[in-house]
Structure 1
Amino acid sequence: MRQFLILFSVISLSLFSSDKLGKLPVYKIAVEAISQTEDNIALRDFIKEQIHSTSRGMVSLPLKGTDTKVWEFDKEGNPSPKTIESLQNLAGTDKLILVSTEDGQAVISFVDVLHQKLEYRNSLPESLSKTLVSDFLGFLDKKNIYLALSETGTGSNSQLKINSLKPTYVAGEPIRFEIESTEDNYVYVVLVPENQKGEPVLLFPNQIQNDNFVRKGDKVTIPDKRISFKAASSPSKDRIRAFASREEWKEFQLRGKKEDSFYRLLPPAVTGTKTTARSMVMVTNSLTAPIEQTPVMEWEYQILSR
């Protein structure tokens, strides 16, 4: 069971119009070949086209002097001092994709530029480079869902109310609150951690409360009293985001391990759903649309150390 600590000065309700976003929440991505060989450039261009054609990200212009920069990471994904210098020079870029072919292997690395961390690295024989790209795109779909859950703008037309959420908690104290819907809705409640390297957690529905259709006037305690959800000991600023949808989010898969209380919200590609190249473009373009188009309310609150 994972524990979470939520730190903020006062309880508040943030109101932002999703119309102000003007676009799907996606990352600004630079795709670069580690060395300018013919095979590396071909793999780089193929990945760029896949990301651009499916709207998985905003592909930035080629970087200058990429082949002379140092890209080194340890087993934990931490960059070397010279790599940190290279990352600090990447202005206006959220993520960096590095591709290379080494000893007959195609390699894809995905770097969080802001937090200077290697998030993904995988390799396959060059003959299976398209399979490698497909695996990476599934990973990117997952990241885009997390981004949409985190950044979709809230609006005053939300049909949800929250009760019993205290202004402050202490470390280790159970966190439990009540959601009320003013209309018949499918309700999705997500914990978004302050640490962007963490993943949003789907608090509702969960493995105990797997029916998330809430009728008008009904009140649901989240999480169920059979589930332990406590504040952890390390300070952080986290958010509770509640989405009210007239339609079920059928584009996504709910997945959780037996030992976990909470689900993960995943794209079909991550859970092994087969798609053709043509359908992949159509599905991906609308993958995060249900999240972006669903009214959402957000609450922030404070946990104090003991």
Structure 2
Amino acid sequence: MKQFWILTAFLSLSLFSSDRIGRLPVYKIAVEVTNQTAEALLLRDFMKDQIQTTGRGLISLPLQDFESSVWEFDKEGIASPKSAEALRKLTDVDKLALITTEDGQAVISFVDVLHQKLEYRNSLPDSLSKTLVFDFLGFLDKKNIYLALSETGSGSNSQLKINSLKPTYVAGEAIRFEIESAEDNFVYVVLVPDNQKGEPVLLFPNQYQIDNFIRKGDKVTIPDKRISFKASSPPSKDRIRAFASREEWKEFQLRSKKEDSFYKILPPAVTGTKTTARSMVIPQTITASIEQSPVVEWEYQIISR
């Protein structure tokens, strides 16, 4: 069971801040090659075209003074000091995609520029380079869904009300609250970790509370008392976002590990197997249900003992 981290000393109820409303849930991505082979350049152009034409991201202009030899990451994906220094210079992109072809292999690496961390790395033989791109696009679909859960929605939500959420919590204390719906809705409650350092977690529905259709006036305790949901160190400031939807989000997979009580929201393409061109979902529609659902957001902080 995962534990979640929240920090410091007051509760603020915020109705979806105006700077987030209408934000397109895609990243600005720089796609570069680390070796100037004909195969790498063709793969780069194919990948850029796939990202841009399907709306999966905004492709940046080629990076000026791009150094192809500095990209090194440890086994946890943390950038080396030289790579971190190079990433700090990339002020106008969110993600960096690196393409390499060597010794008959094609390699795609995807780097979070802000956190200076390798998020994705995979390789296949050159003959399967397009399959490699589609596998990466499945991963990018997941990232776009998480961005939509964290930053989008149709505006302030008067249809949902939260009860019993305390102003402060102490690390290790159980967190439990109540959602009340003013209309008949499917309700999705998501925990968004601090500064996008982790992936959003679906608190409701969950493995014990599968039915998330809440009728007008009904109240539901989240999470179920059979689930332990605690704030713990290291301290951080997290957000809880509740979406009200007239329709069920059937286009998503809800998956968890056996030991987890809560779900991750994943696109249909992320199945744990290699994806193909035919199985890819066009993401202009994959995040629409999130973007169009009214959302209300609570930010709260936990004090350490």
Q: Which amino acid aligns with 1:299?
A: W
Partner of 2:202: 202
Closer/same/farther in 2, CA of residues 19 and 89 from structure 1, 3 Å limit = closer
Deviations 1:184-207 (A, max 9, x none): 000000000104220111000000
Question: What secondary structure is seen at the aligned counterpart in 2 of 1:271?
Answer: coil
The 5 A counterparts of 1:109-148 are: 109-148=109-148
1:193 equivalent to 2:224? Answer: no
Please identify, of 262-271 and 10-19, the stretch whose mean Cα deviation from structure 2 is larger. Answer: 10-19
Q: CA deviation at 1:179?
A: 0.2
Partner of 2:302: 303
Question: What secondary structure is seen at the aligned counterpart in 1 of 2:196?
Answer: coil
Partner of 2:254: 254
Q: CA deviation at 1:236?
A: 0.3
Partner of 1:74: 74
Q: Give aligned-pair identity as a percent.
A: 78
Deviations 1:69-90 (A, max 9, x none): 5111111111122212211111
Q: Work out the CA distance in 2 between the residues paired with 1:16 and 1:243.
A: 11
Partner of 2:178: 178
Partner of 1:4: 4
Alignment check: 8 A CA contact 2:255 2:263 kept: yes
Alignment check: 8 A CA contact 1:25 1:148 kept: yes
Q: Work out the CA distance in 2 between the residues paired with 1:278 and 1:103.
A: 28
Q: Work out the CA distance in 1 between the residues paired with 2:102 and 2:279.
A: 32
The 5 A counterparts of 1:1-306 are: 1-16=1-16, 21-153=21-153, 155-271=155-271, 277=277, 280=280, 283-306=282-305
Q: Work out the CA distance in 2 between the residues paired with 1:257 and 1:72.
A: 30
Alignment check: 8 A CA contact 2:10 2:300 kept: yes
Unaligned 5+ runs, structure 2: none
Q: Work out the CA distance in 1 between the residues paired with 2:215 and 2:150.
A: 26
Alignment check: 8 A CA contact 1:106 1:126 kept: yes
TM-score normalised to the size of structure 1? 0.94
Deviations 1:22-55 (A, max 9, x none): 4422111000011222111101111101100111
Q: Work out the CA distance in 2 between the residues paired with 1:74 and 1:23.
A: 33
CA RMSD, aligned part only?
A: 2.0
Closer/same/farther in 2, CA of residues 55 and 8 from structure 1, 3 Å limit = farther
Question: What secondary structure is seen at the aligned counterpart in 2 of 1:138?
Answer: helix
